[in-house]
Amino acid sequence: MTQTTNRFFDEIGRLMNDAAGAAQGMKKEVDALWRNQAEKILRDLDIVKREEFEAVKDMARLAREENEALKARIAVLEAKLGISPNGSDPGGTRADG
C-alpha cells in the first residue's frame, strides 16, 4: 500500500508540475499576443515614438534660439542704420521707398 500511495503522489506531483509548466507557457503566449496587438494598434494610430518626439523638440528649441539670436543681430544692424524696428525710415533715406 505504501508503494502504491507513493507512486500515486509522485504521479500527482508530476501532473501538477506539468500543469504549472503548461500554464506558464500559455501565459507567455498570451503576453506575446497582447504585446503584438498593442504594437499593431499603436502603429495604426500613427503615434510618434519618444525618440522622434525628443529629436523634433530639440530641433524646435534650437530653431527658437537661432531665431532669437537673429532678431538681436537685426536689431543691432537696424540701430546702426537708423532704421526703426517696424520697418519705417524716419529720415526718408531708404533706397526702395
Give per-residue pLDDT as tens, 78-91.
Answer: 999 998 777 555 55
Write the Ramachandran bin of 88: left for phi over 0, alpha for psi from -120 to 50, otherwise beta: beta
User: Which stretches of the chain drop beneath a pLDDT of 50?
Assistant: 92, 97
CB 85 within 8 Å of CB 78: yes
The pTM is what?
A: 0.44
Q: What is the DSSP letter of 47?
A: P
- Give CB contacts under 8 A, 24+ apart, made by 56-65: none
Nearest to 16 by CA among 3, 4, 24, 1: 24
Sign of CA dihedral 43, 48, 49, 50: negative
